[in-house]
Amino acid sequence: MFSTTCQYAIRAILYLALNTDDNHKIGADVLSEELEMPKHFLAKILQQLTKSGFVSSSKGRNGGFYLSDKDKASNLLEIIYVIDGPSRFENCILGLKECSGKTPCPYHSDVQTFRRDFKSKLQNETIFESAKRIAENNLTLNINH
């Protein structure tokens, strides 16, 4: 469903939402260990998200990545779209160029129902709310934490 890059992005964002704010930053180095992701690769993803305005960062000593309150008001779908684009939610599951309600493939309706619901969940829940839900329900972003 999501590219590896996008999976890293989602987990990183949610981790940042849970553990950082304007006064608590975290380095790509530490973050990559916490989430067990390749360091430099994660750094590049975070830089892309910083450029796109979904993550905040500060350079130099004591610098790091974090989510401001404003960052936490965004939603995961926006972030997914920056990384993977909308194609993952739109492309036919059998790879047909034309597949819609009018000319559906044999599995169009099954998939479409799920996608619609999942997409709106990702869109309607703010990062802040996601973090809250994760904390309250003890959900995991990594085995060991």
Partner DNA sequence: TTTTAATAAGACTTAAATATCTTTTTATCT
Partner DNA sequence: AGATAAAAAGATATTTAAGTCTTATTAAAA
Neighbours of 144 (CB within 10 A): 7
Residue window 76-115: x/- pattern of binding to a copy of itself, with contact defined by CB under 8 A: -----------------xxxxxxx---xxxxxx-xx--x-
Identify which of residues 22 and 90 has a Cβ nearer to a copy of itself in the complex.
90
Question: Cα 142 vs. chain centroid, distance in angstroms?
Answer: 14
Told to check if 97 binds DNA by CB under 7 A, we report no
User: Which of 22, 24, 33, 51 touches DNA by CB under 7 A?
Assistant: 51
- The three-class DSSP label of residue 75 is strand
**Tokens of residue 31, six digits:** 């973050």
- Phi first, then psi, for residue 30 (nearest 5°) are -65, -45
Segment contacting a copy of itself by CB under 8 A, of 4-12, 25-33, 45-53, 67-75: 4-12
**Which residues have C-beta within 8 Å of that of residue 130, sequence separation ≥ 6?**
14, 17, 76
User: Which of 57, 112, 123, 126 touches DNA by CB under 7 A?
Assistant: 57
> Across-strand partners of 24?
21
Burial 28-46 (b: 16+ CB within 10 A, else e): beebbebbebeeeebbebb
Decide which of DNA, a copy of itself, none touches 111; Cβ closer than 5 to 8 Å per partner kind: a copy of itself
Residues of this chain that bind a copy of itself (CB under 8 A)? 1-2, 4, 7-8, 10-11, 14, 93-99, 103-108, 110-111, 114, 117-118, 121, 130, 133-134, 139-143
- The residues binding DNA (CB under 7 A) are 3-5, 8, 26-29, 38-41, 43-44, 46-47, 50-51, 57-65
